[in-house]
């Protein structure tokens, strides 16, 4: 691992921990993504993580807060854009019809996207608004 990769791994670890501590499972390889998609029944929230400020200040807090809601997805997974490139690319292949966006969140039902929140619906929004966007999708699909 080169010094840049080592540095990025070190600084991104707390960003990974923020989600895994909230119950998300990390998918770090394309094989893990394919296995997850092919075996997923019910609902799942896919979080495309990022080192950017809107991920830190808006997206991750919103995802965590949404999990306090009565209805929530059966599974929680995350891929890390810019870090786990193969896994992120493969997940984006499964999010067909949606432009690559990080951070972003997709609610899947039986492996199909039923709700998508791109970066454009995260930046310049309040945590409460993003949380409501998520919980509204949970109410409809979970």
Kindly list the catalytic residues: 52, 54
21-26, Cβ contacts within 8 angstroms, sequence gap of 24 or more: 22/63, 22/64, 22/67, 22/76, 23/67, 23/76, 24/63, 24/76, 24/77, 24/78, 25/75, 25/76, 25/77, 25/78, 26/77, 26/78, 26/79, 26/80, 26/84
Give the residue carrying structure tokens 């923020």. 18
Separation of alpha carbons 141 and 58, rounded Å: 23
């Amino acid at each position: 691992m080169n010094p840049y990769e080592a540095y990025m791994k070190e600084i991104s670890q707390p960003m990974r921990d923020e989600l895994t501590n909230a119950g998300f499972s990390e998918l770090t390889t394309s094989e893990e993504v394919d296995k997850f998609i092919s075996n997923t029944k019910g609902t799942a929230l896919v979080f495309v993580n990022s080192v950017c400020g809107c991920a830190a200040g808006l997206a991750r807090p919103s995802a965590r807060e949404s999990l306090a809601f009565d209805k929530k997805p059966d599974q929680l997974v995350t891929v890390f854009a810019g870090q786990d490139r193969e896994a992120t690319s493969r997940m984006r292949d499964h999010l067909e019809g949606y432009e690559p966006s990080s951070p972003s969140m997709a609610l899947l039902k039986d492996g199909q996207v039923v709700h998508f929140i791109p970066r454009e619906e995260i930046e310049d929004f309040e945590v409460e608004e993003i949380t409501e966007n998520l919980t509204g999708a949970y109410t409809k699909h979970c």
